[in-house]
Amino acid sequence: MNKKLRDNCFIRDMERSFDLSVPEMNRIMKDFGREMKKGLAGKNGSLKMLPAYVGRATGNEKGKFIALDLGGTNFRVLELELKGGGNFGAPKVMKFTIDKKHTAGRGEDLFDFIARCIKAFINEEHLNKEAGMKLGFTFSFPMDQKALAKGLLIRWTKGFSASGVKGKDVVGLLRKSLVKEGLGSLLVSALANDTVGTLVACSYREPICDVGIIIGTGTNACYLEKISEIKKLKGFSGLKGNMIINTEWGNFNRLKLTKYDAALDRASRNRGEQILEKMVSGMYLGEIVRLIIEDMAYLRNIDKGIIAPFRERGSFKTEYMSEIEGDTSPGLSIVKRVLKRAGADVSSAEDRNLLKKICAMVSRRGARLSASALAAVICKMDRALSRKHTVAMDGSLYEKHPAFAKNMKRALREIFGSKASRINIKLTKDGSGTGAAIIAAIAGS
């Protein structure tokens, strides 16, 4: 069999493996919906469905607040003034990089470092630390939230492994560290996941916003649920009407895996967990492509020189996919530059075209999986899609990939037909930090 014919056969096999038809998306929606109901009832399932103990913003919240945003190795401290009427001033922001000695060391040291960052921000901005300013804390890791300002870490993700935190109240740990730094007068009044913060931030200006999604390094979603539907909160009376639920949808596992997905999962630190995230998010998509081109080189479908720089796990970055898929130049010269920059000095036009097709198949599947999960969330709130919904969206993959957003919206049209126009996905950049400040305001209202 000549190379061209062999390449065509390989691509057809890949297309079948990574295709997500409308019937398959509908199946995923049904399974996702069942998992949501199990989670809301407190039964074992792949979706935790964690109560956030907060609803949407009214847009009338006012005051100055400090917000913390811990979602990865970059930590942000903000001061935000809410002016009411859906308006707020330009935030003051400082960013800090968290070293591995803190992400992988003792939890106490991590929270001490966070407290020192807050102190540095207060000193830089000349804030009055004795004023008892309220503080909102965005903590973007799975947690079992017990109240608006109390949450127990379920497990670390995103490369964190600090000891002594799992099962502990992260607000309590932060308060202890604040006291050490002489910041005991700061009131940590609200705790939120980044998706919850994103939804709340958008709802401050968009009253009908009822879904928040992150599609970046990781992925997650939250939505507004009727309290009467949250069966595991039987007898709860702290809120009336609706509450935001953090689905932790990255852990959804009722999905068909290709051999590449299975290989990625076997090699991961959290084997058997975060299956949807491993098929959708920026942390993993590049690795799926790497495993495919490694297979292609072994089968002689692609020159072995192309795989040479990508022998190690994680060496094919998801950012490469964005550059490769966005290349419309003759001969795919941008793809050639990406490969050369990585160490593959020689590549044929045929191999570059093959690589672009592989990247497109992997990212397209991720977008259609995301659309299927979003469709299930929308249907949980509004089965007939009878009203308009605004989805607050944040995350570098959704924002920067040349086709992800388009493929996701196209899949929603395939699922819902003309009714898909009732779903407005609104990019809400850096909403997690802003949302934390607004939630702190809600806590004091």
Whether 191 and 145 have beta carbons less than 8 Å apart is answered as: yes
* Active-site entry in 3, 30, 95, 158: 158
CB within 8 Å of 364: residues ≥ 6 apart: 18, 403, 407
Neighbours of 181 (CB within 10 A): 18
Angle of CA points 252, 256, 260, to nearest 5°: 105
273 DSSP 8-state letter: S
CA distances to 22, 254, 345, 407, 437 from 414, in Å: 7, 21, 41, 11, 37
Element (H, E) at 389: strand 389-394
CB within 8 Å of 62: residues ≥ 6 apart: 82, 83, 84, 441
Distance from C-alpha of 16 to C-alpha of 9, rounded to nearest angstrom: 11
Whether 56 and 199 have beta carbons less than 8 Å apart is answered as: yes
Element (H, E) at 214: strand 209-215
Catalytic-residue membership of 158 = yes
Given the DSSP bridges, would you call strands 209-215 and 389-394 parallel, antiparallel or unpaired?
parallel
Distance from C-alpha of 87 to C-alpha of 309, rounded to nearest angstrom: 49
Catalytic-residue membership of 119 = no
* Active-site entry in 69, 112, 169, 194: 194
Copy the structure tokens of residue 400: 């920067």
Distance from C-alpha of 147 to C-alpha of 141, rounded to nearest angstrom: 16
* Residue numbers annotated as active site: 158, 194
